[in-house]
Amino acid sequence: MDAIEALKGRRSVRSFKSEAVRKEIIEDLVDCGRLAATARNEQLWEFVVVTDPEMRQRIAEITDYGKFIATAPVCIAVMCQDGKYYLEDGSAATQNILLAACAHGLGSCWVAGDKKPYAGTICEMLGAPENIKLVALVAVGHPGESPSPAKRELSEVLHWDRF
């Protein structure tokens, strides 16, 4: 799958088959995350891969819109060291992971972290140092659905020279 195909075809998947994701593929997803654009090349990101079913269940229970994390075979916590551009860097890394998952034929879904009241609790659960912030949780697995939500047309969102 080429990059344009992944960009145009990726959709959020919230239903997963129980089939495990190979370790090499998980490592490739995180590798793609670490290669994301980063302000001033600071590379503030850290990644915690959660495959333990009990831990995924605990994470799912405290999220508001991430209950499906419990049924995804993998949850990648995208975290960043506190810094001026941690949110931008972590978001870029998260997007790379989502696109890499699509390219590998996997489903994924971004669950918010940074501004959620449970962010600190998840950091503690995962043993993160105090200077680490949760940017996102990414559920990953073999898709149990093929969502195709409508996207706004290009003509609705594209403006030339002025809004």
Looking at the domain assignment, is residue 162 inside a domain? no
The enclosing domain of 126 has a CATH number of 3.40.109.10
What letter would DSSP give residue 75? E
Does any domain span residue 90? yes
Tell me if 79 sits within 8 A of 123, measured CB to CB: yes
The rounded average pLDDT for each run of 10 residues, N- to C-terminus, in the chain (163 residues) is 89 95 98 98 98 98 97 98 97 98 97 96 97 98 88 94 96
Residue 161 lies in a domain: no
| Count of the separate structural domains present in the chain | 1
Kindly provide the residue ranges of all beta strands, DSSP E only, lying in the chain, ordered along the sequence.
Answer: 45-50, 74-81, 107-112, 132-141
Q: Which domain holds residue 89?
A: 3-146
Question: In this structure, is residue 151 part of a structural domain?
Answer: no
Q: Decide: residue 138, CB within 10 A, 0-12 exposed, 13-18 middle, 19+ buried.
A: buried
Give domain status of residue 28, yes or no.
yes
Residue 153 lies in a domain: no
158 within a domain of the structure (yes/no): no
Q: Which tokens sit at 110? A: 């971004």
Query: Would you state the structure tokens that stand for residue 151, as one six-digit string?
Result: 């996207």
Residue 88 lies in a domain: yes
What is the reported pLDDT for 129?
A: 97
Looking at residue 148, its pLDDT comes to: 78
Predicted local distance difference test score (pLDDT) of residue 121: 97
